Amino acid sequence: MNPKFYNQLGLAMRAGKLVTGDEGVFKAIRAGEAKLVIMAEDASANTRKKFQDKCQFYGVKLMEIGSKYELGRSIGKEMRVTIGVLDGGFAQMLLKSQENPAEVKHIDQ
């Protein structure tokens, strides 16, 4: 678990730059508004396939991270399987926090 990622996700929610739920995320993908889709690692096989196909077709990045409960808790909601990020800046920030999860690097002497 990366607390920085979940904190940033909560910030995006407070800024009004997220959409949640299958239909809302699908609508954002089709409209070209979704810059990133975040899906829980414990999503069902059917949900996983639908979102992988839809994101690939529309050229939207898909990130699988955390559980349904962790995603929901980070945005102040009940469990959430899918979250769409509508802002490019927040999408880049969330992707970057997963590439470099450690704030402090270990230095060998």
User: Domain of 24: which CATH number?
Assistant: 3.30.1330.30
Predicted local distance difference test score (pLDDT) of residue 3: 84
- 78 falls within a domain: yes
- 103 falls within a domain: no
Predicted local distance difference test score (pLDDT) of residue 102: 53
Predicted local distance difference test score (pLDDT) of residue 81: 94
Q: Which residues of the chain have pLDDT under 70?
A: 1, 100-109
The pTM for the full model equals: 0.86
Question: Quick check: 21 and 106 in contact, CB under 8 A?
Answer: no
How many residues does this entry show for the chain?
Answer: 109
Count of domains observed in the chain: 1
Residue 41 DSSP symbol: T
Predicted local distance difference test score (pLDDT) of residue 98: 79
Structure tokens that stand for 93 in this block: 């920030």
- 107 falls within a domain: no
